[in-house]
Structure 1
């Protein structure tokens, strides 16, 4: 059964133009919820499910998005109330500031598709690798981790495939280990907190000659990781990336979900939609449809280096002028509480799920 979404996608490059705090602001205890997605022992079944029959389940997955009764709309002019000083976390490989600039738009290696199941249904979202201590963290939408219709239960068989295209996994498959969301999203389904950070096990690939699984190492070592920006002023241009797969409301299938797409523009604030408890998200004119949920909104994106600062993730969207074509996407505003949820996931180890004989199993013991 297809779930309809009316407008559902990591460090830093150039610090200039972003408001950065000299030091990380002191935060109150983060209001974070966490849940286990998979044990190492369960990874074999998850990988088999998604890769058997030449990846048939990957191609059969429907785009997943939050259902709501009407399209989010700009309700007033203003600016979000930041809960602390602005701050940034640099991308992997960009801990030292760079002044690289380019006019080309090269797609980021960090962005990919998320696949999961709810009951017997197959779904997909978008996501990106983001900076973390062990290079094992993914940023996506909260509704791409928690089944809101199931009263907050986590989705099943959650995997991330960076660089996904036409059913291929060029940098391997990463099974989700643990999900972190804002408490208000988990408990109250607050759409203004529709973001999640997921730790993943080392990447898995298949050796066709030896007929064994291969440990590809940590996500961030293979594709890098975007940085994070929070408590920033709204209005600076962003690139938004994702895998739209749903048709427009007029039935036109512009997107297939098989290739990465992007939008570019200046976000505006605030956007509201009461049916999904959204009061102050940010919006962007963009034609992406369902399946782009969870994709990153990246400030100061360098096409040469393919990195920037994630400052949002696609949450909602739809057709604002009733012409049957999607033209808006939205994101939660990233503030200090977003940073708190991120920091709860940042230092956690995941490890390998491949045994020495090439089989999959419990090998979570940490080794550096």
Structure 2
């Protein structure tokens, strides 16, 4: 494998004033979206000194061959226990990337009834194709998380949790990454195929400052940066994933207006066989960003937190990803300035 590590001493982020961030306001329109294609292009600043990037030596075919039915079925979910220290999180930017379907009509944020139960997700439209399951290996063991296809000019990006590609206990990167949109029955149902990871982009703040012990107990300010982007290889037909599934929008620190959390909880009482969701009309302040009441279990890590989700078209804006929880609530980091920089790093090196 090839690992490019560009390190610097992590800068001290400005304190995020969540009281202001969590008040309702409309998402600003930035740029002109192109329906059915890439949305507005965020300025690309190139690579930075605070991103851990990994290119995989294994070819997409080798990664696909690695995943047998037994490995899919035997993959377990990372089980992390949240610390109780209030963390300094990412800075809000107000930058928005629209869904690949373009800017939809105004959405009634009360249209999706609140639920904390982890109910089966009634996926429609864009949401039916862009949310999926992420399989990976670390140290020979196989694991599973959740992830979302996000709109990008390179048309090859998924967004997930940092701990789904970086082992905070053993301090090593994941390998053999496979993403299956709309996965069901442990990889047996693949309506949009399976897609091999080409490279990962993880913030240095997470790899350097987020830790966990053998029991899964977590600590460190890095958990406020528990997010990562993954570039995926084209399929055998030469298509990029966004050409097949479309891509959700991204809200880089814009105040959320209603949140729908989607993922594949795998620990009891769930079995990881299908998508589940929780919904809230407002987020509260968590240790590391946002928090919502939700009973979903490990396996939903990395799943998208969609704001202004249109239940008719399935289009929305990913405003966070599932990081940690205690069985009654989940929390996710704010996708702000650092996440935007990471996104630009991935665009700069995309194809």
TM-score by length of 2: 0.75
Q: Determine if contact 1:136/1:218 at 8 Å carries over to the other structure.
A: yes
State how 1:45-64 maps to structure 2 within 5 Å.
45-50=62-67, 52=68, 55-64=69-78
Aligned partner of 1:193 in structure 2 is: 225
Which of residues 157, 172, 179 is equivalent to 2:200? 179
TM-score by length of 1: 0.72
Larger CA deviation: 102-111 vs 216-225: 102-111
SS in 2 for 1:138: strand
State how 1:43-192 maps to structure 2 within 5 Å.
43-50=60-67, 52=68, 55-65=69-79, 67-68=80-81, 71=82, 83=91, 85-94=93-102, 97-99=103-105, 103=111, 105-107=122-124, 108=127, 109-151=129-171, 153-166=172-185, 167-189=188-210, 190-192=222-224
User: How far apart in 2 are the matches of 1:25 and 1:132?
Assistant: 12
Which of residues 267, 270, 275 is equivalent to 1:255? 270
Size of the aligned set, in residue pairs, is: 291
User: How far apart in 2 are the matches of 1:233 and 1:101?
Assistant: 15
Q: Determine if contact 1:237/1:267 at 8 Å carries over to the other structure.
A: yes
Q: Determine if contact 1:139/1:196 at 8 Å carries over to the other structure.
A: yes
Q: Determine if contact 2:89/2:224 at 8 Å carries over to the other structure.
A: no
Q: Determine if contact 1:31/1:341 at 8 Å carries over to the other structure.
A: no
Shift of 1:128: 0.5
SS in 1 for 2:26: coil
Shift of 1:72: 5.2
Q: 1:194 to 1:138 in 2, by over 3 A?
A: same
Is residue 244 of structure 1 aligned with residue 265 of structure 2?
yes
User: How far apart in 1 are the matches of 2:340 and 2:284?
Assistant: 20
User: How far apart in 1 are the matches of 2:335 and 2:254?
Assistant: 8
User: How far apart in 2 are the matches of 1:287 and 1:198?
Assistant: 27
Q: Which runs of 5 or more structure 1 residues have no equivalent in the other structure? A: 1-15, 204-213, 248-253, 273-279, 319-325, 351-368
Structure (1 or 2) with the larger CA radius of gyration: 1
The CA deviation string for residues 315-341 of structure 1, in whole angstroms up to 9 with x for no partner, is 0001xxxxxxx2110100111221111
Aligned CA RMSD, in angstroms, stands at 2.8
User: How far apart in 1 are the matches of 2:62 and 2:90?
Assistant: 43
